[in-house]
Amino acid sequence: MDKITDDSKISKISSKGQVVIPATIRKALQINSGDKLSITVSPDNEIILKKQPSELDWHNLVKDIPTEIVDVDKNGNYDPNKSPDFHDWMVNG
Q: Measuring CA to CA, which residue among 50, 22, 24 is closest to residue 38?
A: 50
Could you report the average pLDDT of every consecutive run of 10 residues in the chain (93 residues)?
70 94 91 94 96 89 86 95 92 91
Query: Are residues 20 and 11 in contact, defined by beta-carbon separation less than 8 angstroms?
Result: yes
Q: Measuring CA to CA, which residue among 16, 35, 15, 17 is closest to residue 25?
A: 35
Sorted by where each begins, the domain ranges of the chain are 1-52, 63-93
Class of domain 1-52: mainly beta
Q: How far apart are CA 65 and CA 87, in angstroms?
A: 14
The set of long-range contacts for 65-73, using a CB threshold of 8 Å and a minimum separation of 24, is: none
